[in-house]
Amino acid sequence: MNFDNRVVIVTGAGSERGIGRETANYLASLRATVVIADMNLEGAKAAAQAIEADGGKAFAVSLNVTDPESVKAMVETVVQKYGRIDVLVNNAGITQPVTTADMSLEDFNRIIAVNLTGTFLCSQAVIPVMAKNSYGRIVNLSSVSGKRGGGVYGGSHYSAAKAGILGFSKALAREVVEQGITVNSVCPGLIATDIRKGLSDERERAIWETIPMKRPGTTREIAFTVAFLAAEEAAYITGEDIDINGGSHMD
């Protein structure tokens, strides 16, 4: 895979030990120009500086995925700087370990807004730019929780948002296929990132026992699959979702 001259946006890549950061690093190693878009601008800048220190190309930009104006401004900034957007990785997401009985409407709306509405807003904003070049790759981060209804971490609102991403991605894939744009999703299981820090050691060990591989996945394993779907060579794959969970869930 070679991403020479490709401009890639990865949302939510400011977190130091997250899937987004590793995806940005991996795509940069494949010679992509990576835009790290995150609400945490300092984290995004640190990620971009690290990539550039390793000889890659990166740029940090502020982004609140729940705010249409922030999304619009981010896309305009990228287009002004590079003149194109080839790949969007909708990685930004949050979770919350709470039962439905204890969940407030504010909790529900916040999780849906960041995970699902953010995916919609960012995808909608880049489509016209991609369509001008008749080329684009959108890769959305869903979750095993969106398929099996939880069981890893996060409440029912998180499962609902991640399941919504799958339906949204398939519908969008049909809409934009004739514009040269593919839309696919990845569904990680338990991955060694900071997002699982709300799990107790006992709960995490219990989850490990449900995974045939008896371990969490790595961020590099997710990044590789994202890069595969984002590659030019994956042109005949659209509307698909790939499970990356060590065998803990099989369709």
**Residue 89 bridge partners (DSSP):** 10, 139
Annotation marks residue 153 as catalytic: no
| Structural contact between residues 243 and 191, judged by C-beta atoms closer than 8 angstroms | no
Task: Kindly report, residue by residue over 194-203, the tens digit of the pLDDT.
Answer: 655 556 667 6
Instruction: Name the maximum alpha-carbon separation found in the chain.
Output: 51
Provide the mean pLDDT of the chain. Answer: 94
Please tell me which residue, 205 or 21, carries the higher pLDDT value: 21
Nearest Cα to Cα of residue 49 among 60, 41, 62, 64: 60
CA 125 to chain centre: 16
Question: Does the pTM exceed 0.85?
Answer: yes
pLDDT at 200: 64
pLDDT at 172: 98
pLDDT at 197: 57
State the average pLDDT over residues 59-68.
98
Single out the catalytic residue among 135, 153, 158, 236.
158
* Strand-pair category, 241-244 with 33-38: unpaired
Q: Which domains does the chain have, with CATH numbers?
A: 7-244 (3.40.50.720)
Nearest Cα to Cα of residue 43 among 29, 27, 30, 62: 62
Per-residue pLDDT at 225 exceeds 90: yes
